[in-house]
Amino acid sequence: MILKSIARFVRTALVVVAFIVMPSAAFAEPPKIAGFAAPGTAGEIYWQQFEDAVATLSEGRLDATLMVQGEAGPEETQFSGLRRNRLQMAGISTGTLGLAVPELAVLRAPFLFESIEEASYVLDEHLLDSVAHRFAEKNLVLLSWMMDGWMDLYASFPIRVPGHLRSRQMRVSADDSALLFMAALGADVIQIPLSDVIPGMQTGLVEGGEQSTQIFALAGLDTVARHFTLTHHSYSTAGVVANKTWWDSLSADDRAVYRNAVPKADWYRGLVLERNELYLVRAEDDGLRVVYPTAEERASWKRLGQNIHGDLVREIGGDATELYEEIMKAKRAFANQRAAPHQMFVR
């Protein structure tokens, strides 16, 4: 009996010692990572890369629980869970992030960016750090940008110039930029969930809308909208964001693992653009009418879109003017680099 008691004491002591000397993260529940990434898409590849990198960089010590196919609910629900630390990281669109940082709506201003290269430079080299304090004030940590792509126009009718949208029923999200742009075009704005667009177009409630190539394809909108015009009028991106309370609770080494595991923004942009290229080639073969505006046509879209920048900044309020000026300064810096010419209408 005495020997058994001693054995139990030794085993208990060893467990206590192991608990003390092993890293606390070894006993912590893996962080929950939320987002929307359909199977086989660039988004799914992105988050799988993240999960694998966490395991590799930590030599198997850390892990992550992926909930990136909508398991945590709609994006607004995910964002609410992130802010309450029920989720620890998520990929959230700037539209939804605007609920906490309204100034981000400036990023969706029509024709704010001339190219993917310019947008990448402004976001990665300037805004990632300059907006960090705005996120920190809301108990959030912005780790990276996650590109969605250019916003373009889809419809049941052909679109080449701004006048083609006058009095048309166009669906847009509840976004100040999109609402002002469509109003300037003279369109009749319809606000319905994305899931209702296909039946809405089938019944005639909706005639078209704006969407990125990636979401246009994933949502199956090409089954009802056989015209797709590459206006590239707005740049859509998401933020990879962490809950600051959770983030600050990590050791410096663990923070480095999770930060460095986030895939590079440039790599993901290339992946998205490659997937978009493949989709549009196949879709055109299947009968989708893709319009590439001429320089003159694009100029007409651009004049109209840029005319609403002042109204948009005033509508957003807060620090929107400051952020807009930061973007303009970064654009001038990019121009001064005399970047090589690029092809504007990347498929």
Is the separation of the CB atoms in 151 and 236 below 8 Å?
A: yes
In this predicted structure, what is the pLDDT of residue 181?
95
In this predicted structure, what is the pLDDT of residue 7?
40
How far apart CA 146 and CA 121 sit, in angstroms, is 14
**Residue 340: pLDDT band with limits 50, 70, 90:** low
Task: Give residue-wise pLDDT tens across range 120-171.
Answer: 999 999 999 989 999 999 999 999 999 989 999 999 999 999 999 999 999 9
Positive or negative, the CA dihedral 229, 231, 234, 239 is positive
User: Would you tell me how many other CB atoms lie within 10 Å of the CB of residue 194?
Assistant: 14
Strands 89-93 and 32-34: parallel
How far apart CA 213 and CA 274 sit, in angstroms, is 11
Positive or negative, the CA dihedral 103, 104, 107, 108 is negative
Q: Which long-range contacts (CB under 8 A, 24 or more apart) does 127-135 make?
A: 127/323, 127/326, 127/327, 127/330, 130/326, 131/101, 131/103, 131/104, 131/323, 134/101, 134/103, 134/319, 135/100, 135/101, 135/241, 135/244
How far apart CA 1 and CA 299 sit, in angstroms, is 91
Task: Give residue-wise pLDDT tens across range 69-102.
Answer: 999 999 999 999 999 999 999 999 998 999 999 9
In angstroms, how far apart are the furthest CA atoms of the chain? 94
CATH number of 2-336: 3.40.190.170
Ramachandran category for residue 91: left, alpha or beta (phi over 0 → left; psi -120 to 50 → alpha): beta
How far apart CA 181 and CA 183 sit, in angstroms, is 5
Q: At what angle do helices 295-306 and 176-185 cross, to 10 degrees?
A: 120
Residue ranges of alpha helices (H) inside the chain are: 2-21, 42-57, 75-83, 94-97, 116-120, 128-130, 132-136, 176-185, 197-203, 213-218, 244-249, 252-261, 265-285, 295-306, 309-316, 320-336
Average confidence score pLDDT of the chain: 89
Task: Give residue-wise pLDDT tens across range 93-112.
Answer: 998 999 999 999 999 999 99
Domain ranges of the chain: 2-336
How far apart CA 259 and CA 241 sit, in angstroms, is 10
Six token digits for residue 26: 């070894």
Distances 302 to 295, 308, 325 between C-alpha atoms, Å:
10, 10, 19
Residue linked to tokens 């303009």: 328
DSSP track, 239-308? EEEEEHHHHHHS-HHHHHHHHHHSPPHHHHHHHHHHHHHHHHHHHHHTT-EEE---HHHHHHHHHHHHTT
In this predicted structure, what is the pLDDT of residue 157?
97
**Residue 38: pLDDT band with limits 50, 70, 90:** confident
In this predicted structure, what is the pLDDT of residue 4?
39
10 against 265, higher pLDDT: 265
Task: Give residue-wise pLDDT tens across range 213-226.
Answer: 999 999 999 999 99
Q: At what angle do helices 320-336 and 309-316 cross, to 10 degrees?
A: 140
